[in-house]
């Protein structure tokens, strides 16, 4: 099938990129046996998870050029669906996750339809609004645990039906598999008709319209894809942490982090979100653990984060990958 072939075909990347990808993958595969501590393992798992989030965001935010800051609501939808289905009806992960994705897709279409009448700043603010509204509803909704959140019951390990494991290694390979699934999907996406059309919309929406592209509908489609991606990650979070609440999975800060990582790494590129996550996740965790331990320094990690955001915005909006591309073009 052409789709599968396209998805697995990385040949239009440079040699250097392909080699790097292979090395990186090997490293990941062998990682659990490299004898690093559990802290590093959690960081790597977080890195893979945020890469997944970032790739999803990239679909609409990077390639589509629509900066949206409300991804967290879909993380929440994914996480809550898995959690609630397990707690209420003992439904295994492999069924609740796809349902979570479907709900996310449905919700994104409903919201997306009015949302994409907006552009630019108005759009960005509106995405924040929708996320805040959902979070507020969940905080006050007793049925889903309100602010206390949901605790998932612990099963005998290892449990492949409900995806619960004692050792992080299982989770590691799980998120790695999801990561590669996402990567392959993105590879297909950027070569697909929708991918091309979306990039055209970003470049010049008026011209795109003149080429038979229904811009609004394309954006909605991309937005929904992004939401599905992110919901998958949310489902993972639920079974990994075994505890979720509206503050940890639906927060505005989460949305910002996701968008920021993709932007820092270089939006609108395959590797951008991954690079961004590779930078920021360790930074976030190490800063957090180093500074957080010292009481007087709450929030310094975020300060550094935000200073970074400002600097990048002011001087290199195209992110790290943007710098790489600039060098490449100069050589031509």
Partner 1 sequence: MIILDAILQGILMGLLFALVALGLTIIFGVMDIVNFAHGEFLMIGMFTAYWTSLLLHIDPLITLPASAVVGMLLGLASYYWLVKYLLRGPMIAQLFGTFGLMLFLRYLAQFLFGTDYRIVQKGLLVGKSLSLGPFILDWTKLSAAILSLLAFLLVYYLLHRTKLGKALRATALNKEAAGYMGIRTDRMNALAWMIGGGTVGIAGGLLVNFWYVYPTIGLLFVMIAFASVALGGFGSIKGAFFAGVLIGMIEMLFPVFGHLIGWDFLGPHFKFTVVYFAYFVIVVLRPQGLFGWKH
Partner 2 sequence: MIDLIKDFGGVIANNHISFEIDQGEIIGLIGPNGAGKTTLFNCVVGYHKPDSGKVIFKGKEITGLKPFMTNREGIGRTFQIMKVTAGMTVLENVMVGAFCRTEHRAVAVREAMEILNFLGLEELKGFHLNELPIASQKKVGLARALATKPELLMLDEVASGLNPKETEDMVALLKRIHQEKKITLFLIEHVMEVVMPISQRVIVLDSGEKIAEGLPKEIVKNERVIKAYLGEKYAKGF
Tell me whether residue 214 or residue 253 sits nearer to partner 1 (CB atom): 253
Residue 196's binding partner among partner 2, partner 1, none (Cβ under 5 to 8 angstroms by kind) is partner 2
Residue 118's binding partner among partner 1, partner 2, none (Cβ under 5 to 8 angstroms by kind) is partner 1
Tokens of 182: 């996402």
Q: How far apart are CA 285 and CA 38, in angstroms?
A: 13
Compose the 291-330 pattern: x for residues touching partner 1 by CB under 8 A, - for all others: ------xxxx-xx-xxxxxx-xxxx-x-------------
> What residues line the site for partner 2 (CB under 8 A)?
2, 6, 191-193, 196-197, 199-200, 202-204, 206-215, 268, 329
Q: Provide the minimum distance between the beta carbon of 189 and partner 2 in the complex, in angstroms, as a whole number.
A: 12
Part in contact with partner 1 (CB under 8 A); list of ranges 88-96, 123-131, 206-214, 233-241: 123-131
Tokens of 135: 């979070």
Q: Answer yes or no: are the C-beta atoms of 273 and 265 closer than 8 Å.
A: yes
Q: How far apart are CA 108 and CA 113, in angstroms?
A: 8
Tokens of 36: 């690093």
Q: Provide the minimum distance between the beta carbon of 110 and partner 2 in the complex, in angstroms, as a whole number.
A: 22
Q: Provide the minimum distance between the beta carbon of 305 and partner 1 in the complex, in angstroms, as a whole number.
A: 7
Q: Provide the minimum distance between the beta carbon of 303 and partner 2 in the complex, in angstroms, as a whole number.
A: 33
Buried-state track 285-299, b at ≥16 Cβ within 10 A, e below 16: bebeeebeeeeeeee
Q: Provide the minimum distance between the beta carbon of 182 and partner 2 in the complex, in angstroms, as a whole number.
A: 20
Task: Name which of residues 246 to 265 contact partner 1 (CB under 8 A).
Answer: 252, 256, 259-260, 263
Q: Where are the alpha helices (DSSP H) in the chain?
A: 2-8, 15-30, 38-57, 72-89, 93-115, 120-140, 168-191, 193-203, 205-210, 215-241, 246-249, 252-265, 272-292, 300-315, 319-331
Residue 209's binding partner among partner 1, partner 2, none (Cβ under 5 to 8 angstroms by kind) is partner 2
Q: Provide the minimum distance between the beta carbon of 130 and partner 1 in the complex, in angstroms, as a whole number.
A: 6
Tell me whether residue 204 or residue 253 sits nearer to partner 2 (CB atom): 204
Tell me whether residue 174 or residue 305 sits nearer to partner 1 (CB atom): 305
Q: How far apart are CA 286 and CA 307, in angstroms?
A: 17
Phi–psi pair at 151, nearest 5 degrees: -110, 130
Part in contact with partner 1 (CB under 8 A); list of ranges 27-35, 48-56, 61-69, 97-105: 61-69
Phi–psi pair at 241, nearest 5 degrees: -85, -20
Phi–psi pair at 243, nearest 5 degrees: -155, 130
Q: How far apart are CA 204 and CA 304, in angstroms?
A: 35
252-265 vs 300-315: helix axis angle to the nearest 10?
40
Task: Name which of residues 127 to 186 contact partner 1 (CB under 8 A).
Answer: 128-130, 132-133, 136-137, 139-140
Residue 81's binding partner among partner 1, partner 2, none (Cβ under 5 to 8 angstroms by kind) is none
Strand partners, 150: 244
Compose the 17-56 pattern: x for residues touching partner 1 by CB under 8 A, - for all others: ----------------------------------------
Query: Is the C-alpha dihedral spanning 203, 208, 213, 217 positive or negative?
Result: positive
Q: Which residue ranges make up the site for partner 1 (CB under 8 A)? A: 65, 67, 69, 114-115, 117-118, 120-122, 124-126, 128-130, 132-133, 136-137, 139-140, 252, 256, 259-260, 263, 267, 297-300, 302-303, 305-310, 312-315, 317
């Amino acid at each position: 099938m052409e789709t599968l072939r396209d998805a697995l075909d990385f040949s239009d990347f440079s040699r250097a990129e392909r080699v790097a990808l292979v090395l990186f993958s090997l490293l990941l595969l062998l990682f659990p046996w490299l004898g690093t501590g559990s802290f590093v393992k959690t960081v790597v798992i977080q890195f893979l998870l945020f890469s997944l989030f970032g790739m999803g965001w990239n679909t609409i935010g990077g390639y589509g050029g629509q900066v949206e800051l409300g991804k967290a609501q879909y993380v929440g939808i994914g996480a809550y669906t898995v959690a609630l289905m397990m707690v209420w009806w003992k439904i295994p992960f492999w069924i609740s996750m796809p349902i979570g994705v479907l709900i996310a897709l449905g919700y994104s279409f409903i919201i997306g339809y009015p949302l994409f009448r907006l552009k630019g700043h108005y759009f960005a603010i509106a995405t924040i609004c929708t996320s805040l509204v959902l979070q507020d509803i969940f905080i006050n909704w007793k049925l889903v645990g309100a602010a206390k959140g949901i605790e998932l019951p612990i099963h005998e390990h290892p449990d492949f039906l409900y995806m619960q494991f004692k050792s992080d290694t299982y989770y590691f390979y799980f998120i790695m598999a999801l990561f590669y699934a996402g990567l392959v999907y993105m590879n297909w996406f950027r070569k697909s008709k929708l991918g091309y059309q979306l990039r055209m919309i970003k470049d010049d929406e008026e011209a795109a319209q003149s080429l038979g592209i229904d811009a609004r509908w394309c954006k909605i489609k991309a937005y929904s894809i992004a939401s599905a991606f992110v919901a998958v990650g949310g489902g993972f979070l639920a079974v990994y942490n075994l505890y979720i609440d509206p503050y940890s999975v639906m927060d505005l800060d989460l949305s910002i982090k996701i968008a920021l990582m993709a932007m820092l790494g270089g939006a609108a590129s395959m590797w951008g979100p991954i690079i961004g996550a590779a930078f920021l996740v360790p930074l976030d965790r190490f800063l957090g653990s180093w500074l957080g331990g010292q009481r007087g320094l709450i929030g310094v990690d975020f300060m550094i984060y935000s200073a970074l955001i400002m600097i990048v915005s002011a001087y290199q909006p195209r992110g790290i990958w943007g710098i790489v591309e600039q060098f490449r073009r100069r050589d031509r």
